[in-house]
A and B are shown apart, each in its own frame.
Chain A
Amino acid sequence: MRTSRKLMVGGASVVILGAGFAAAPEAAVLELADPGADSPSGVTPPPAPTPTAVPDEMPVPEASTTPDVSAGATDGTYPGPVVSNIRGDYQLQIVVADGVVTDVEFLAAGTEAAESVSINAMALPVLREEILEAQDWDVDYVSGASFTSPAMVESAHGAFDDAGL
């Protein structure tokens, strides 16, 4: 990747090459790598949209978890350029602390609501890390894994049947 520089986000989660959004045809590149994660099933994600060139003037600070290459990064908040396409404007900003990108914020993502991005299939292939606490919300339903596979349920079903219960 000729003009790209790497940003490590949240320690090990996301590597952004350049800045911008993969889904925006005339926008710059957002690519993701998955360092060290060998998928057990050898899965590869669907092909990413074809990367376009990263404009040289794009103000991309450099940061990494590896100390020797993070030397150039200065702490602060770095808004990326606004990139427009037919679906709207796209802009992200990153927050750098101690030479590491600690957050990626989507200032604009094609719709008015920055967080309602990918309803229009403009999904940004990125994941944001956070620590969640158990809280009480007023919800109508709780979606939780049943902690039993359907096969286990069937097996239990059979055991009950065999036991005549």
Chain B
Amino acid sequence: MRKPLKRRTVTAMAMDFTLDVPESVSDSALDTVMPYIESDLQWADAIFSLYQPDSQLSRLGRGEASIGECVPAVAEVLDLCEKYREETSGAFDARRPDGVIDPTGIVKTWAMERVRWRFQLLGASAWLWGCAGDVTAQGRPDAVGPWRVGIADPRAGGATVDAVELGAVEAIATSGTAHSGEHIWDPRKGRADTHFAQASVAGSDLVQCDAWATAIMAGGRKVALAAQAEGLHVLTCAVREGKVFAERSPGWPRMQNAGRE
């Protein structure tokens, strides 16, 4: 049995971010560090939100500010968008048709990675840091085993269809569509697997996993194959006739007893 863990949740960007640490981590350390993490995330939201008309990114989009007038983080994130646009051969693209750059797709994971250094201040030997489909971890929570992450059932309902161990990989990102029933079958092409209900990518960098998971959702199977050339592992799920048809790369870090419990 896993030893008990402590979980703290902070809210930013209208999403919950959860941190799991071993129970041995002191409450006072958590109480001290978590507010800084929350405020870091909220700062990122204030800079990058395209909803808030006075955010630096909104002003940039309207041409009211230059990149040089924005905080350096803006250039950093836009550089990352370009990096992953190139790496994914265009499948990840933050440029909207109207010309506005919308880096929202990776701002969240960029912000998650950005606060990573603060976890050292907890004195924790292990931590797991997640928000929705994106999760990254360090260390082992106890002697029982490494951090274990389930992959949600794309049919929703809260179940899991697969489970992986973190260790050899440190990050997992899952991207999905709002309607998994969409694009179930394309009779003209006679195939359905270019449209995934969900794509999970495992690797060492959460932002990279996030960008590739998004790219796979946009670009389909070719992109899932290409991800492997970057050393990433992929699990895609399509839903047809109520069943989950998955495809995984050979290196997918499946939990050792997954599928047998």
**Cβ-based interface call for B176 (8 A):** yes
Q: Which residues of B contact A40 (CB under 8 A)?
A: 194, 218-220
Interface readout for B190-215 with A: 1 if CB under 8 Å, 0 if not? 11011000101000000000000001
**Cβ-based interface call for A106 (8 A):** yes
8 A Cβ contacts from A68-105 to B: none
Residue from A117, A123, A139 in contact with B163 in the complex, judged by beta carbons closer than 8 Å: A139
8 A Cβ contacts from A16-63 to B: 32, 34-46, 48
Instruction: Please judge, given known A-B contacts A12-B193, A147-B156, whether A131 and B246 are in contact too, CB under 8 Å.
Output: yes
- Closest CB of chain B to A124's CB: distance in Å? 5
Q: Which residue of B lies closest to A23 (CB)?
A: B229
**Measured CA separation A154–B193 after assembly (Å):** 30
Q: How many pairs of A and B residues are in contact by the CB < 8 Å rule?
A: 249
Total number of A residues with any Cβ neighbor in B under 8 Å: 62
Q: Which residues of A contact B225 (CB under 8 A)?
A: 32, 34, 45, 125-127
8 A Cβ contacts from A95-152 to B: 106, 109, 114-119, 121, 123-152
Whether the pair A137, B163 counts as a contact (CB closer than 8 A) is yes
Residue from B160, B168, B228 in contact with A134 in the complex, judged by beta carbons closer than 8 Å: B160
Q: Which residues of A contact B255 (CB under 8 A)?
A: 137, 139
- Closest CB of chain A to B129's CB: distance in Å? 9
Whether the pair A37, B132 counts as a contact (CB closer than 8 A) is no
Whether the pair B223, A45 counts as a contact (CB closer than 8 A) is yes
Whether the pair B236, A127 counts as a contact (CB closer than 8 A) is yes
**Cβ-based interface call for A5 (8 A):** no
Whether the pair B173, A143 counts as a contact (CB closer than 8 A) is yes
Whether the pair B249, A43 counts as a contact (CB closer than 8 A) is no
Interface readout for B219-238 with A: 1 if CB under 8 Å, 0 if not? 11111111011111110110
Q: Which residues of A contact B193 (CB under 8 A)?
A: 12-13, 37
**Cβ-based interface call for B143 (8 A):** no
Residues of chain A having any CB pair with chain B under 8 Å = 12-13, 32, 34-46, 48, 106, 109, 114-119, 121, 123-158
Known: A39-B222, A131-B245. 15 other contacts (CB 8 A): A36-B189, A38-B194, A46-B229, A117-B251, A124-B250, A127-B225, A127-B249, A128-B249, A134-B161, A140-B2, A141-B149, A142-B151, A143-B151, A150-B105, A156-B14
Q: List 30 A-B contacts (CB under 8 A).
A: A34-B225, A37-B193, A39-B223, A44-B222, A115-B254, A116-B253, A118-B231, A123-B232, A125-B229, A127-B225, A129-B247, A130-B248, A131-B246, A132-B161, A134-B155, A135-B159, A135-B160, A135-B261, A137-B150, A137-B261, A139-B163, A139-B255, A142-B150, A143-B134, A143-B149, A145-B132, A147-B156, A151-B104, A153-B14, A154-B50
